[in-house]
Amino acid sequence: MSLISNERIKLSAAYLNTAAGGLFTAGVVAALVATVFGVSGRSNLSALTLSGGIAIFFLASIALHGCARIIRGRLQPWPTFRSWPSSSRR
């Protein structure tokens, strides 16, 4: 596997991990902050609806992060200077 392939794998994993962070921020943190400070548009939102929505976003965030870890696991080790033949170290 080439260095380019490794970089593409890292880019894909970083994209999924960023999406996971965005889901967590938008669905969990923003919902909790809006509820605590009373800035949500609906005042009659039940606790069950709120916790269900937060759980959905939280689980989706965990799933995307898990996919990113799986993709990152496909990285191949790149040879270091010590593993190269001595004739190419000039």
Q: Is residue 9 part of a domain?
A: no
Indicate whether 81 pLDDT > 60.
no
Domain residue limits at 65: 27-76
**24-75 pLDDT tens trace:** 999 999 999 988 888 877 667 788 999 999 999 999 999 999 999 999 999 8
Total structural domains within the chain = 1
Q: Is residue 57 part of a domain?
A: yes
Q: Is residue 20 part of a domain?
A: no
Q: Is residue 16 part of a domain?
A: no
**3-26 pLDDT tens trace:** 889 999 999 999 999 999 999 999
Q: Within the chain, where are the H helices?
A: 3-24, 30-37, 47-72
Residues 6+ apart with CB under 8 A from 5: 76
pLDDT of residue 36: 86
Q: Is residue 46 part of a domain?
A: yes
Taken in order 58, 64, 66, 72, the sign of the CA dihedral is negative
Q: Residue 2: which region, alpha, beta or left (left: phi > 0; alpha: psi -120 to 50)?
A: beta
Q: Is residue 22 part of a domain?
A: no
